[in-house]
Structure 1
Amino acid sequence: MQFRFDKEALMRRIQVVILLVVIPIAAVLFLTAMSPSPDPKKNTDTVTRPGSELPIFDTHVHYKKEAWTLFSPKEVLELFKRSGVTKALVSSSPDEGTRMLYKLAPDMIVPFLRPYHDDVNSSNWFKKQSILDYFKKRLELPIYKGIGEFHIHNEIDADSPVILETLRLAVKEDLYIHVHTGHEAVEAMFKHEPKIKVLWAHAGMSDPPQVVSAMFDRYKNLWVDISIRENDIAPGGVLSPEWKALFLKHPDRITVGSDTWVNSRWQEYEEIIKFDRGWLAQLPSDVARKIAYDNAGRLFGNGDSGKR
């Protein structure tokens, strides 16, 4: 069988291939070459969640003696930096832990004076008259913004003469009180000394957000840190409607805290802050920023924005 070469048919096929394949590919390559290259310095993520990159002012940190061998002061500061924490309110048992951190980073650390040292602890500090002399002696170093965190176990203990004198000292020296207690004892404290300024640890620990809201309505000099309440605030990572309602109603009264009261909290620190960022991201951006940093910055950090 003799094969006949049809030159004209071949040329027609080549033209079809050029029209259908080569020209479109060339056009795509040309348009790609003409498109501007992305700027690596420019953030192209236009849907960044509002709480994910905020600076954090941690208002509940303890650098207790038990942690000194786990993390050196320098390592604590590095941990803050990795976590995006730009300021920290620190009180320690004993107070030397706070001073060690403050010495290395006075612009980052906001010292509070905790009563616990030697044989003075959460169960007996308010029974020891000597604690008042301890406060006055330590306060001679003018670095402290407040007294606490200390515990009041019930409203009856809030009537202790030592606690009453502590409240008067705080008012006289224009210091905040950082207290771990329920709402009944907070009410008793304000009854004894209406001019006190209170940072209420753990938002009451077990008090529901409705009670916290009512306390805010009643006392203008009351703020909270939300440490240890993470699972109440955002069970499974989803912001509770009740807590969200509190945050939206009182956005200027809430602060973020971690509470490194045991070494395991230091070991989990980055995850704690990451979890807090998760529920902050579920709030309007202006509310998230107030809670993450601005409220504490206004109260304890000379009003700066937290940017570094």
Structure 2
Amino acid sequence: MFILKLTTTLALVFIVFLFDNNQLAASEKDTQSVNTLDKQAVFDMHTHYKWSQANVTSPEQALAFMDAEAVSHAVVIGKPTEFALKLKRLAPKRIVAFYGPYRDSLDWLLWQRNEALIPKVEAALASGEYQGIGELHIIGGGFARRKDDSVVLKAFLELAVKYDVPVMIHTEFSKPSYMLAICEAHRKSKIIWAHAGAILQPADVDLVMSKCPNVWSGMAARDPWRYVDNQHTDENGKLFPEWKALMLKYPNRFMVGSDTVWPVDELDSWHTADTGWQELGRFWTFHRRWLAQLPDHISLKIKRENAMKLFKM
């Protein structure tokens, strides 16, 4: 009996030891990464970790890619949404998990019609594990609900206010009126405008940002490989004057991300793995080139400080 009790006690001690050391290792990973930051450190405000990536990129490997590119923090959107927590649990001080409502390939088109998502989003935010909602696609060409008829979007924006978290919205319209209708109707909501309006021109982005101080523009996927018909730099990576002027006008409300999706023409393919994390260096090499063309204090805001403040890191 004594031997059995001793064995049980030792086993419990060993389990506690392993747990504490695992927690310590995660804590040290957070601390080490933050303490060794250089001036190139960035906050990636738009990444994805999806089922189509998991076979080629483990959560540990994703964090290693971040370390290699001096990405101190990242917003992670999971598909399914719990995939974001795989990274967050390894590095809770570095990862901001967003609740992404997509599970199936067509959900990016259908989410606005799925009112069953509303209690799921509230439960996720109430749990404290998620610090944002999105990415929510609102695409033109007949796919979007009318501006006054999206019960789900309205509920999400109201939940974001209730739990004090931002909502990332991806609009694809030829005019800024759709985003204006959203941000003006929900002025208490903090809205991250994915891809800074995507196909819109700087004047359109300026209009939205001037009328809605609750909108932050994210420059993720604004690179030579995505949005190729609406670049913000020339073929040599030089910022176009209109975009530079816009960033100088709103230095506190621009952010940058990588949008770890690759190849862009094989989204969520069953036969091709998504290697977006393997392209992290490519994306950030490009972004750092144009960021360096801004005054140092503004570049620092856009590549890191604005996101740190918005996400309360």
Q: How does 1:56-95 map to 2 (within 5 A)?
A: 56-95=42-81
Cα 1:186–1:123 change in 2 (3 A) is same
Question: Could you list the runs of 5+ residues in structure 2 that have no partner in the other structure?
Answer: 1-37, 225-230, 263-273
1:140 — aligned with what? 126
Q: Say yes or no: does 1:170 pair with 2:160.
A: yes
Deviation string, structure 1 residues 97-131 (Cα, Å, up to 9, x no partner): 10000000001101111111247610101101111
SS of aligned partner of 2:109: coil
Cα 1:69–1:301 change in 2 (3 A) is farther
Check conservation: 1:164, 1:192, Cα contact below 8 A: no
Deviation string, structure 1 residues 253-280 (Cα, Å, up to 9, x no partner): 1001111134243222101101111111
Deviation string, structure 1 residues 35-77 (Cα, Å, up to 9, x no partner): xxxxxxxxxxxxxxxxx94211000101011111111000000
CA distance in 2, matches of 1:153, 1:118: 17
1:218 — aligned with what? 211
Q: Which of 84, 97, 118 matches 2:83?
A: 97
Tell me the matched-pair count.
251
Q: How does 1:155-304 map to 2 (within 5 A)?
A: 156-158=145-147, 159-182=149-172, 183-231=176-224, 232-236=231-235, 237-262=237-262, 263-302=274-313
Deviation string, structure 1 residues 74-107 (Cα, Å, up to 9, x no partner): 0000000100100001111111210000000001
CA distance in 2, matches of 1:235, 1:68: 34
The higher-RCO structure (CA 8 Å, 6+ apart) is: 1
- 289-298 vs 262-271, which deviates more? 262-271
- TM-score using structure 2 length: 0.76
SS of aligned partner of 2:96: strand
SS of aligned partner of 2:196: helix
CA distance in 2, matches of 1:190, 1:225: 15
1:129 — aligned with what? 115
Q: Given residue 249 of structure 1, which amino acid in structure 2 is its aligned partner?
A: K
Check conservation: 1:258, 1:273, Cα contact below 8 A: yes
CA distance in 2, matches of 1:81, 1:119: 30
Report which of the two structures shows the higher radius of gyration computed on alpha carbons.
1
Among all aligned residue pairs of Structure 1 and Structure 2, give the percentage whose two residues are the same amino acid: 36
CA distance in 1, matches of 2:217, 2:301: 13
Check conservation: 2:219, 2:255, Cα contact below 8 A: yes
CA distance in 1, matches of 2:158, 2:129: 19
Check conservation: 1:152, 1:185, Cα contact below 8 A: no
Q: How does 1:15-94 map to 2 (within 5 A)?
A: 53-94=39-80
Q: Given residue 304 of structure 2, which amino acid in structure 1 is its aligned partner?
A: Y
Shift of 1:166: 1.5
Check conservation: 2:49, 2:83, Cα contact below 8 A: yes
Shift of 1:286: 0.7
Cα 1:78–1:176 change in 2 (3 A) is same
Check conservation: 1:146, 1:170, Cα contact below 8 A: yes
Q: CA RMSD in A?
A: 1.7
Cα 1:118–1:137 change in 2 (3 A) is farther
Question: Could you list the runs of 5+ residues in structure 1 that have no partner in the other structure?
Answer: 1-51, 303-308
SS of aligned partner of 2:161: helix
- TM-score using structure 1 length: 0.77
Shift of 1:193: 2.2
Cα 1:250–1:119 change in 2 (3 A) is closer
Shift of 1:301: 3.8
SS of aligned partner of 1:189: helix
SS of aligned partner of 2:180: helix
Cα 1:191–1:282 change in 2 (3 A) is closer
CA distance in 1, matches of 2:198, 2:296: 26
- 147-156 vs 125-134, which deviates more? 147-156
SS of aligned partner of 2:107: coil
